[in-house]
Structure 1
Amino acid sequence: MTVVNFRRSVSNYPFSYKISWPARFVKPSLRGAAAGCLPDQVRFLPKPGQSVRLAFVGDISAVANRQPPVFDRELVSLLALADLVVGNCESPVVDMPRARFGTRLGTHHAMTREFLQGALAAAAIAPERLVLSLANNHMLDQGIDGFEATRSALDALGVGTIGNTPTVTKVAVGSLTLGLTAFTQWRNAPASEFAGRVAMADAFFAAAGNGLAGVEGVDLVCAVPHWDWEFRHFPRADTRAWAKRLAQLGVGLVAGHHAHVVQPMARIDDTLVAYGLGDFLGTALARQPWPGRIAAIFLVDVSADAATRGEIASYRLVPFMRQRDGEREKMVPLDKVDGELGVKARARWQAVYGTGSAGLTS
């Protein structure tokens, strides 16, 4: 979350971005809808005999929570069945925040190892099945020491990480080998602090040149970019251009974040792109306006059959809403949100994904 970022002139946000932030936070924008977007679930291949299931989630933070969250059992069941879960670690993991005042206000992110462990347990995500991106604008919010503490904490928990370098990390998932990579368009700290620690978009594409390194023997390359402008449901032209460039580089699957609202699906040649999944957990203010509390779990089945190995067989976006439950959040499937709020939230989902289903289907 940017929180306008007037606080730090060292950030790389354009001035027009900064001055538009408050209005877009209060009322996320639906402007800029592009043709060719996909519905929230599609099958591309007949059901394969063998496959692996990937679950991508959005930003993870403790900003809006004092206690670990509560997840509806249907969401827990879906996450428990995933062979691998990939998300974005939006907050440094530290025992004691260095920037105490900013952390209390929410301008500097931080979460404890105990909070993260509680959140993963509540969602039935085993740490050894989890990979988190460190490539986001908040990763240096607690300084260089906080960044190193984050890496140490995640390593101690057994959580895999990507995004500290512009390279591809190989991950064995069932009988497949995935290549995972990540970068961020934005930073909240000086470029000198991010250099060599967090992969920036410019460095990522410069290093890639005409092709990504380290993809030999990889069945599917997945990119996890932290991009676009916040609180806008439809991606900007430069974001769509980057998605096209990722497709040209051989990335087969893109799962983005940073916008804090759900964004559409698209297919560029054979590359499947989820522009934005919203916040998985607590990355904005506790009383955030309702459109920013809609998020998605992105389930992707990848074929392990010999003839179609590494091809995406199907995907499904599972919508849910982050609701307040005292000092924590409660994650509820969108079709279980009652009253006027549920009606508005489901209408917003339809505005982004068209005629796709908003329910939990098999």
Structure 2
Amino acid sequence: MSAPIIDLKDITVTFKNKTSTVHAVKNVSLQVAKGDVYGIVGYSGAGKSTLVRTINYLQVPTSGTATVNGQVMGQLSKNALRLARRKIGMIFQHFNLMNSRTIAANIDYPLRYSDLNTAQRQKKVADLLTLVGLQDKADAYPAQLSGGQKQRVGIARALANDPGILLCDEATSALDPKTTQEILGLLKHLNQTLGITIVLITHEMAAVKAVCQHVAVMEQGEIIERGSLLDIFSQPQQPLTKDFINTAAQLDVALAEVRKQPAVVNLADNARLLHLTYVGASTDAPLIASLYQQYGVTANILYGSVEFLQDTPVGNLIVILSGDPAQFPEAFADLRGQGVTVTELDPKGTVVA
């Protein structure tokens, strides 16, 4: 296996003031392969933005090593670090455009120290405007653009020096849902066509689901769970990860509605409320029918959904299973043997086992 393009080892970041010390990042290690789209998700204050800023050394870690593009960032001279940062683009939540400059001038700004002549810079800017779909906005000013258009300018500017890595710090958080999907689609297109490695920082698991190949979940300065997108969504281990996924899949909304239903409020003694998650080939199996045929267990489906993650179907069912309680353990074991994650819920929608 080739070396990762980003290799963070034992990164710790602390901030001190007169009265206290804040441990923003605590001994975190993270590797990102070339060409990957890696999502780092967590609530505000989790430390994800601080961690990612150690990649380009906008935040110098208190301890630990950041190796990017084969270079140990902490060992570089000021000039070498400046050159290294040119190959690490970055876009931000609030765009950070210069309002007094035209769109073309904003995109051209990172090229002022490049080796390109004026004509080459002009062509570069025009090509970047076309790439992000703003070829008719070269002479406009940021105030004349929508939020989504401003972020497209931010992306074009970040790509000016042909970086191999693009850091996206809450890049869609200020946008409406439709525009968010458009920007995420653009990022996915850039990854697929340019081979650029993307690190996406967000508090929205839906954004991760749309574009990422791998995911790390941060809480209180630490990575508490990591893995492929499919593994994280189909087999989350930590409560925080489960909360993020339930929100992204709207399972929290579904559970709130389910527990209002009379069949759940008055759940019979011979019934169980279950959340079933299944992946890939399991979605094609006649799960419910086989339960009745083998164990005499009937199912009342209260909610169901199937979505595709990395071209793999992932299904969710909330069901009431009814029958002989003595048959339930074997029936649940059978489901698990078919690759189904079985979570028992109480009538209030909380986890039992």
TM-score bracket relative to the smaller structure:
0.3 to 0.5
Relative CO higher for 1 or 2, CA cutoff 8 Å, sep ≥ 6? Answer: 1
TM-score (norm. length: structure 2): 0.32
Q: TM-score, normalised by structure 1?
A: 0.31
- Rg (Cα) greater in structure: 2
- Tell me which protein shows more helix as a share of its residues: 2
